[in-house]
Structure 1
């Protein structure tokens, strides 16, 4: 039996919180297929590369952003027969959650690159090329779930942050408002979630707010449930 040649690729969902909103890094494709459409950064795996090396290379080539210090984790593998009009292509999707990054610069086969509000993208299922709407949907849900049971939200914050700033991350990622007092109580009562720095700041406005840094916990007990 003859088998159709199989291509292997990676796609990246890079999420950040900018101006209080969850945003995703997208490129506008400069070549067919889907020329002119928004898409996730990504590309084909070279013979001498492993998957993560490809993901990091493509991020740098298509957006000009360095991926050296970005933690990537696999979300899922996508292999529907018709997901790529060029032929049979299986893609491994990676997720990264990072603090506010600079504006990207398009390169390689990208006509442009930029940060786009996740809500706007997810509301239009036909906005992204290939099956990238499904990949983004899966990755955002993974991020939302991870905020419940891990200290991942601190990855969106500066090294020293206020509880209000941390709450802003949860509200942006979950897409819901949270009660400030209940959130403060739950965060500070969760063992090793955050630790006080010993100084305060007025950058939130109003009275000085205590600064914290990430604690030593790798999982949260009890978890931070949505609607906290």
Structure 2
């Protein structure tokens, strides 16, 4: 086709955000209730279209998170998760979405705004178990984000940020169990943690919980990349009943 006869295809660019946090030792994802069509009244990941005249993709992600859930993305480490562009993913036309991921402790209760009727933290297990359905292809985006988050716990010291300044091995294990969605054997977990030098550091104190033996207390060490990694048990069954 001659270049002068070529017309750029009409493609809209959007952003979607997968935001995870732990609430009462349960992994939650940020969802919004859509207040407009399509899928009005359905739950979805926060996100929206770029303002093509004045912002780049990252700026759009920050703006949408602020507008739809009143969360300050500047306080989060957003990393690009991937691009989603199946031809039929949006009934409004050809829409390509760039997805971003963040997982952080202590995130506040979201407050809905703009075209979101409601914003809420929802247990990830409710989504994976089919009790909560998401609009568009957002369940697949969330699943991809979850796998990335689970991998980050294998290879980085991210889990310690969800603990207090001092913590027990059991409390650290609870973080891994919540994100990985599996139950771990305490002795095997302790052995793997101790094999990674400078991941956690004992502080020479103990904490008594109940009538059992007091548990040793630790703090986060200087290591940020785990070697060897804390790999998930092979063939372990997740809390959602999947392998």
Q: Which 4+ residue blocks in structure 1 deviate beyond 4 angstroms?
A: 197-202, 204-208
How many Å separate the matches in 1 of 2:111 and 2:48? 17
Match of 2:48 in 1: 43
Aligned ranges 1:192-203 → 2 under 5 Å: 192-201=198-207
Measured after TM superposition, the shift of residue 199 of structure 1 is 4.7
Match of 2:21 in 1: 16
Q: Is 2:66 the counterpart of 1:78?
A: no
Measured after TM superposition, the shift of residue 214 of structure 1 is 2.5
Equivalent residues, number: 227
How many Å separate the matches in 1 of 2:31 and 2:87? 24
Q: Structure 2 vs 1, CA of residues 92 and 120 (structure 1 numbering), >3 Å: closer, same or farther?
A: same
**Contact residue 18 and residue 45 of structure 2 kept, 8 A:** yes
TM-score after normalising by structure 1: 0.90
Q: Is 2:16 the counterpart of 1:29?
A: no
Match of 1:177 in 2: 183
Measured after TM superposition, the shift of residue 215 of structure 1 is 2.2
Measured after TM superposition, the shift of residue 126 of structure 1 is 7.9
Deviations 1:130-188 (A, max 9, x none): 11011001111111122112212223333443322211010011111111122123213
Deviations 1:25-57 (A, max 9, x none): 100001111100000011112232222221121
- When Rg is computed on C-alpha atoms for both structures, the one with the higher figure is 2
How many Å separate the matches in 1 of 2:159 and 2:37? 37
**Greater displacement, 173-182 / 25-34:** 173-182
Q: Is the partner of 2:190 in helix, strand or coil? A: helix
**Greater displacement, 154-163 / 107-116:** 154-163
How many Å separate the matches in 2 of 1:21 and 1:209? 22
Structure 1: gaps spanning 5 or more residues: none
How many Å separate the matches in 2 of 1:165 and 1:222? 21
Tell me how large the CA RMSD over aligned residues is.
Answer: 2.1
Aligned ranges 1:81-96 → 2 under 5 Å: 81-96=87-102
Measured after TM superposition, the shift of residue 211 of structure 1 is 3.5
Measured after TM superposition, the shift of residue 216 of structure 1 is 2.3
**Contact residue 97 and residue 156 of structure 1 kept, 8 A:** no
TM-score after normalising by structure 2: 0.85
